[in-house]
């Protein structure tokens, strides 16, 4: 049983999970299914026009202190983004278009680092093209694919699926029908997946 990793590239806590999930899943023998989606429509359904970290001043002040602590704990790079939340539609489309490619996971991590380590615009085509070239992909072909109706619809459908399944924030994880929310629940989700796999193997 795999773990489904639902994330938005604008989500700071998704960054923490994206940088950790592959090694943790490998230790437990769990496969990962990456599910890029857009938080904007989810928040709009709640009547919010921005991230709760922006709408709630006290929470917003706290979260950047917490991010420094968490990145120090996990040994991750960190720079508070000068723009938050950043638009993440194009990188989400590219990550969707990259499904099935062996470099998808590494590309996803690179985009997160672009945002939360290098403080760069993650919708900048030049910066994204440089990342694609690093992974041996054709930037022009990938950007063209990301702009196609097929990829746009896939991302739209995935965001709608997130809402149907009760996703209200990112990162979220699914093990079958079981949902976990937040970076601090990643280990719990992986343990459930590993336990299910062990029970299946024993049958």
> In whole angstroms, what is the distance from residue 142 CA to residue 96 CA?
10
CATH number for the domain spanning 135: value is 3.40.30.10
Q: Domain count for the chain, please give it.
A: 1
- 11: annotated active-site residue: yes
Active-site residue, from 11, 14, 17, 88: 11
pLDDT computed for residue 82 by the predictor? 97
Kindly report the pTM of this predicted structure: 0.94
> In whole angstroms, what is the distance from residue 49 CA to residue 52 CA?
9
**Whether residue 198 has pLDDT greater than 90:** no
Residue 41 tokens, joined: 């429509």
CB atoms within 10 A of CB 14: 27
The residues near 77 (Cβ < 8 Å, ≥ 6 apart) are: 71, 113, 116, 117
Which of 85, 7, 89, 97 lies closest to 51 in space, CA to CA?
85
Tell me the residue range of the domain where 174 lies: 3-202
pLDDT computed for residue 31 by the predictor? 98
Name residue, tokens 């928040």. 43
Residues 16-51 have pLDDT tens digits of: 999 999 999 999 999 999 999 999 999 999 898 888
pLDDT computed for residue 202 by the predictor? 53
């Amino acid at each position: 049983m795999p773990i489904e990793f639902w994330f938005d590239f604008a989500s700071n806590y998704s960054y923490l999970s994206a940088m950790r999930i592959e090694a943790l899943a490998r230790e437990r023998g769990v496969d990962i299914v990456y599910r890029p989606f857009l938080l904007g429509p989810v928040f709009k359904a709640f009547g919010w026009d921005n991230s709760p970290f922006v709408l709630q001043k006290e929470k917003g002040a706290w979260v950047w202190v917490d991010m420094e602590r968490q990145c120090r704990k996990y040994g991750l790079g960190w720079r508070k983004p000068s723009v938050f939340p950043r638009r993440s539609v194009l990188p989400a489309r590219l990550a969707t278009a990259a499904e099935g490619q062996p470099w998808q996971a590494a590309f996803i991590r690179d985009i997160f680092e672009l945002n939360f380590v290098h403080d760069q615009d993650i919708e900048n085509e030049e910066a994204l093209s440089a990342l694609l070239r690093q992974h041996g992909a054709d930037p022009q072909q990938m950007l063209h694919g990301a702009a196609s109706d097929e990829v746009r619809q896939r991302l739209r459908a995935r965001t709608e699926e997130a809402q149907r399944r009760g996703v209200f924030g990112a990162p979220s994880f699914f093990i079958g029908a079981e949902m976990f929310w937040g970076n601090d629940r990643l280990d719990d989700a992986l343990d459930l997946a590993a336990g299910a796999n062990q029970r299946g193997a024993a049958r």
